Amino acid sequence: MEAIGRNQATAAQIQRLEDAAHNPLTGKEWPQDHHQLLQERRQLLAYRHYQEILDAYHKSQVMILSGDTGIGKSTQIPQLLVYDEYGSELRIACTQPRRLAATELATRVADEMGVVLGEEVGYQIRGDYMIDKHKPKKTRLTYMTEGILLRQLCVDRNLTAYSCIVIDEAHERTVDLDLLLALLKKVISRRKDLKLVIMSATLDAALFQKYFDNCPLVHIAGRSFNVKTIYLREPGPDFAVLAAAHVVDIHQHGEPGHILVFLPGENEIERVCKLVRGETDGLDVFPLYSSLPAANQRRALRSSGPNRKCIVSTNIAETSLTIKDVVYVVDSGLSRQMIFNPRLRMSVLGIRPISQASAIQRMGRAGRTRDGVCYRLYTKEGYDQMAPSTEPAIRCSSVESVILRLVAAGYRKVMDFDWLDAPHPESIARAVQDLRDWEFLDDDAKLTQSGHYAAYCPLDPIWYRAIKTAAKFGCSLDMLDIAALCTTQTSIFLRPSGYQQAADLLRTQFAHPLSDHLTHLNAFNAYMRAREALQERFSDPRSILEEWCMEKFLNMRALEEVCIAREMAARFLKGKIAPSRASVMDMTSVRNALAVALCTHTAIHYSGDVYRTVHENTDALLSPASSLVGRNHEWIVYTTLHKTGGKQQLQIATAINAEWLVDLPFFQGAIMPKTGKGLLRQPQVKKSLDDAKARMEARNERQ
């Protein structure tokens, strides 16, 4: 390649390289479509700002790049940096919040640069990579998820393999991103030759600029196409009815072009679909949400008949999936959001207004291929009252694993760490307390050996502890499966609208009378058996497996995720924890291990369907899906405490014996919640444990 020193390239030089007879990266001739791709790329706004971006990049260690979606930031900027960084002989990483984006961008950019995917341009996501690992210099640019870079940061705290890190979609503010930025800020102070480019939507750019000592900001103004925004004149009564009416009106009177409707969830979506179908002809209506079987999702995205298409979707179409040729957007202004309440250690799921940033993102979905229209089912005043940006995820989730990773990275002052937005102090305090209860931190908040392992284990910390505990009970492999099932957030059980009762009925074939954890395990084992049997008989059993899952109302995507999580965790645990399995005939040991490991998540039966949690001292019902409903076991452990639709629920529970709790440190007198007068707030807990103790003593005497 033409000799350009590191960080000395000009836009003209790069253009010359791209116009040359041979590909400067490979020395080979360009692929046939090179010139056409180049022409398309040179139309993109991001490409047209090459020189301005290079100037800012050369001048400063950190820079922020802002601009609307669809201008080619994610594809063009990393390519530009490949040429500019060529002299450094180190790699460039470009992070993405989602796996799909990482793989698709890598594929596209490898094409545009005229190289083979996995050679000069590659990707890395969990359980899958296309990079040249053996020749360190070969892969110049790697698209990866934020989590992958965080992992690499744990191993190599100065990221010595890289000369430049590009953070894309920074405005999405995932938990991993906030942790990554905080750690990168430390890295760049140690490594002055490491460059950082943060790409974000316009609205949040100033925030990042301030965080990085007022570094330069380049804004690429303009968007690919205009979208006209139409507000409601006065607030409407029922957003579902309103949404349906807008769709019908657009279909009857509007110019050609597909319609995309944003609603909070599956229920609302199915309702609107029904309303619209009843009143239109020649309109293909598709629901779209994550628990929809993959085939139905594909149909919604790919179908292209002569009819107009209307897709009624959750937030999944806001960022994760792109629908071609959308001209109309109907935005309800609402979404379901999960917010963590640190005091109750409880997640609350509810329908809330979206942010302005999110409204803009939804609107932009109408202007990807030509000018569009966005109908907002709220007033201009309603829009003005929305929060400018979506609350960063680190502010509304539990932070046990974040704090653990932070301590593992060598930062112990977790309370006054330099965050972009700090987690709630109460969240941090809770996390530190939990990590101590789980023995990952000692009394000086120092990392223990087992805390060190938990930080590197690709499972939630509490599940690493559960596997460790299970090893003592001779069932570490059963617990590994349960851990993978619980760490994978999406449920393996489907309950499609219209088939709820059938789904509930079929679920009972896996039901374990004493445990939802074991119910999940039964279903997972059944899937693994079917998978193995089919793999022996067919070379590509995927579609048959998909059918098998469909019949049993199991979510195959979730089950495959569980498989990957399990394999990765198993690889990590090899040599650290002895593998063992409980007898199929008696899973008592698994329940006992769950009781010990999840002892901070115990609840005692109160009255009727009501349980009261020991730690938070709050009343909650078993989830209606639990196989323990109506059985009134005295003690249970649960995986999560949720609030949905105003009701507090305990999800994924297992019945346990009081005898298993009496000797645990967590249940010794001092830790029990007390009232101001020093009286036990839950005398029933004490009584139950005392009774259990008496029973144990009596048994010992008899022997």
Partner DNA sequence: TTGTGGTGT
Residues that bind DNA (CB under 7 A): 97-100, 125-127, 145-148, 150-152, 154-155, 174-176, 264-267, 289-291, 314-316, 320-321, 335-338, 349, 393, 401, 456-460, 487-491, 495, 500, 504, 565, 568, 623-625, 644-645, 647, 651
Nearer to DNA, 653 or 655 (CB): 653
Beta-strand ranges (E) seen in 344-484 are: 346-353, 372-376
CB 426, min distance to DNA, A: 20
CB 125, min distance to DNA, A: 4
Nearer to DNA, 251 or 642 (CB): 642
Nearest alpha-carbon partner for 54 in 190, 228, 216: 216
Nearest alpha-carbon partner for 335 in 388, 261, 259: 261
Q: What are phi and psi of 124, to 5 degrees?
A: -145, 125
Distances (CA, A) of 597 to 2, 395, 465, 547: 60, 27, 6, 36
CB 543, min distance to DNA, A: 22
How deeply is 470 buried, as exposed, middle or buried, from its count of CB atoms within 10 A (0-12, 13-18, 19+)? buried
Please give the angle made by the CA atoms of 64, 68 and 73, to the nearest 5 degrees.
60
Separation CA 233–CA 361 (nearest Å): 22
Nearest alpha-carbon partner for 272 in 78, 513, 83, 497: 497
Q: At what angle do helices 266-279 and 239-253 cross, to 10 degrees?
A: 40
Nearer to DNA, 67 or 458 (CB): 458
Q: What are phi and psi of 659, to 5 degrees?
A: -55, -30
Separation CA 32–CA 630 (nearest Å): 68
Q: 209 near 217, Cβ under 8 Å?
A: yes
Nearer to DNA, 86 or 453 (CB): 453
CB 128, min distance to DNA, A: 8
Nearer to DNA, 376 or 642 (CB): 642
CB 699, min distance to DNA, A: 38
Nearer to DNA, 100 or 241 (CB): 100
Nearer to DNA, 45 or 414 (CB): 414
Nearer to DNA, 527 or 667 (CB): 527
Nearer to DNA, 241 or 502 (CB): 502
What letter does residue 293 receive in the DSSP assignment?
-
CB 3, min distance to DNA, A: 33
CB 133, min distance to DNA, A: 10
CB 428, min distance to DNA, A: 18
Can you spell out the DSSP letters for 88-137?
G-SEEEEEESSHHHHHHHHHHHHHHTT--BTTTEEEEETTEEES-SSSTT
**Hey, how many other C-beta atoms are within 10 angstroms of the C-beta on 441?**
23
CB 185, min distance to DNA, A: 21
Nearest alpha-carbon partner for 408 in 475, 456, 477, 345: 456
Nearer to DNA, 95 or 688 (CB): 95
Nearest alpha-carbon partner for 584 in 646, 525, 500: 525
Separation CA 102–CA 95 (nearest Å): 7
Nearer to DNA, 148 or 480 (CB): 148
Q: 152 near 159, Cβ under 8 Å?
A: yes
Nearer to DNA, 100 or 415 (CB): 100
Q: Give the tokens for residue 35.
A: 């010139």
What SS3 class is residue 240?
helix
Non-local CB neighbours of 248 within 8 Å, separated by 6+ positions: 276, 279, 280
Nearest alpha-carbon partner for 632 in 603, 596, 652, 662: 603
CB 489, min distance to DNA, A: 4
CB 460, min distance to DNA, A: 5
CB 693, min distance to DNA, A: 35
